[in-house]
Amino acid sequence: MNALTPISVSRRADFPGVGDWAYLDSAATAQKPQVVIDAIAAAYGPEYATVHRGVYARSATMTERFEAARSTAARFINAASPNEIVFVRGATEAINLVAQTWGAANLKAGDRILLSRLEHHSNIVPWQLLRDRTGIEIDVAPLTADHRIDEDALEAMLTPAHRLVAVAHVSNVLGSVADIARIARAAHGVGAKLLVDGCQAVPRMGVDVQALGADFYAFSGHKLYGPTGIGVLWTRGDILSAMPPWQGGGSMIETVTFEKTTYAPAPTRFEAGTPHIVGAVGLAAAMDYVSAIGLDTIDAHERHLAGLARAELRKVNSLRLFGPDDSSGIVSFAMEGVHPHDIGTILDEEGVAIRAGHHCAQPLMETLGVPATARASFGVYSDERDVERLLRGIARVKRIFG
């Protein structure tokens, strides 16, 4: 089990929800460190007030904290300005926002969008909804033999008719990492914009949106050790400032009459109503937490555990692994004659939590030739003991199903 050099980074003691549980479902949602829980409790307790409206001291203080969270998010992904950061409910809402604002304003019948075979439903369905409204067309780039986006094929598929490329930075099923800078150059070479689903990337690797060359970058807070119901849409400033609003209400306006409304500048224009104040505060605490550990350290730690799990699981003759050998903290597999739900149930009896199903990636399952997979995904609280318990659980699955 120690054939690979261990990376001593596990922060299990920081997470009250983990204890001795082998929690291997971090790609679905991450457990929360105590510092995030404390930040949320304080923000809902003695610090709580509304933002952007109150003239009293606590409201002004909370407004400062909320906007400081925006600045933290900007630093976290190296945005050029905090004004490029829009707080949303999560990556799903972020992608829908782009589809319904930028997409509706800029795409027309005959235009094309290019996706990949490994996309999450949240990076497929919004574009289908837009297609049904506007008559645009959707193309899909294939995967390589080791289950990465085939970037050679993607480049070859691009034409001047393509107005947008939308891909995952890290696959939520396969753990494969896309070369976003290369894809950005290819997209821009034909005049297309690039949207990146960064949900699985930001918890485990440093992201520099300026260096990547993307135009839109979306991620959720709850996979980043932060609260649910909060996420970030980053959009390059010149694009964001030209996008129309998508929801109407308080905060996103300058003036309102029954005859006409004028809208606030970005990002306020896209944050109608009272925002998820406490969510933003908790997300900032989570970003500070992982930044203090170091994203490179987290990436090395999770790759070590994923590599260790893959090496051991490969020894099980009836088991099929998916994704590349250097997968980023995610290992998906299927066992001959055993449904992934049965694997998950038996592992749960052993105190091991994995994900079993299609992982909101049904087109990918079709490509892999399976209805579902079992998925183990690691976090900063994971360690080699979790891998050992996973393997013991898989051995029990084999004994039960012969």
Q: SS3 for 62-107, per residue?
A: HHHHHHHHHHHHHHHCCCCCHHHEEEECCHHHHHHHHHHHHHHHHC
The verdict on whether 360 is a catalytic residue reads yes
Task: Establish if 6 belongs to a structural domain.
Answer: no
SS3 230: coil
Task: Establish if 1 belongs to a structural domain.
Answer: no
pTM of the model: 0.96
Of 237, 267, 292, the last residue of a domain is 292
Q: For residue 379, what is the DSSP state?
A: -
Q: For residue 25, what is the DSSP state?
A: B
Do 324 and 229 fall into the same domain?
Answer: no
Element (H, E) at 185: helix 180-189
Q: Identify the pLDDT of residue 247.
A: 96
Q: How confident is the model at residue 9 (pLDDT cuts 50, 70, 90)?
A: low
Do 233 and 332 fall into the same domain?
Answer: no
Sign, CA torsion 312/316/317/319: negative
Name, in order, each residue with C-beta under 8 angstroms of 38's C-beta and a sequence gap of 6 or more: 285
The total number of structural domains that make up the chain: 2
Q: What is the pLDDT of residues 376-391, one digit of tens each?
A: 999 999 999 999 999 9
Task: Establish if 7 belongs to a structural domain.
Answer: no
Do 261 and 338 fall into the same domain?
Answer: no
Task: Establish if 148 belongs to a structural domain.
Answer: yes
Name, in order, each residue with C-beta under 8 angstroms of 317's C-beta and a sequence gap of 6 or more: none
| Residue 268 confidence (pLDDT) above 50 | yes
Q: What is the pLDDT of residues 118-147, one digit of tens each?
A: 999 999 999 999 999 999 999 999 999 999
Task: Establish if 283 belongs to a structural domain.
Answer: yes
Do 316 and 362 fall into the same domain?
Answer: yes
SS3 295: helix
Do 307 and 259 fall into the same domain?
Answer: no
Do 285 and 369 fall into the same domain?
Answer: no
Q: How confident is the model at residue 53 (pLDDT cuts 50, 70, 90)?
A: confident
Do 106 and 144 fall into the same domain?
Answer: yes
Considering the chain, what percentage of its residues have pLDDT values greater than 90? 96
Do 110 and 159 fall into the same domain?
Answer: yes
Of 269, 292, 315, the last residue of a domain is 292
Considering the chain, what percentage of its residues have pLDDT values greater than 70? 98
Cis omega (within 30 of 0) for bond into 227: no
Task: Establish if 269 belongs to a structural domain.
Answer: yes
Do 247 and 317 fall into the same domain?
Answer: no
Task: Establish if 78 belongs to a structural domain.
Answer: yes
Do 346 and 324 fall into the same domain?
Answer: yes
- Catalytic residue (choose from 28, 68, 157, 360): 360
Q: Print the domain residue range for 317.
A: 12-31+294-401
| Residue 52 confidence (pLDDT) above 60 | yes
Q: The domain that contains 103 carries what CATH number?
A: 3.40.640.10
Of 258, 292, 326, the last residue of a domain is 292
Q: For residue 366, what is the DSSP state?
A: H
Name the residue type at position 357.
G
Q: For residue 304, what is the DSSP state?
A: H
Q: The domain that contains 356 carries what CATH number?
A: 3.90.1150.10
| Residue 395 confidence (pLDDT) above 70 | yes
Do 275 and 301 fall into the same domain?
Answer: no
Average pLDDT, rounded, for the chain = 96
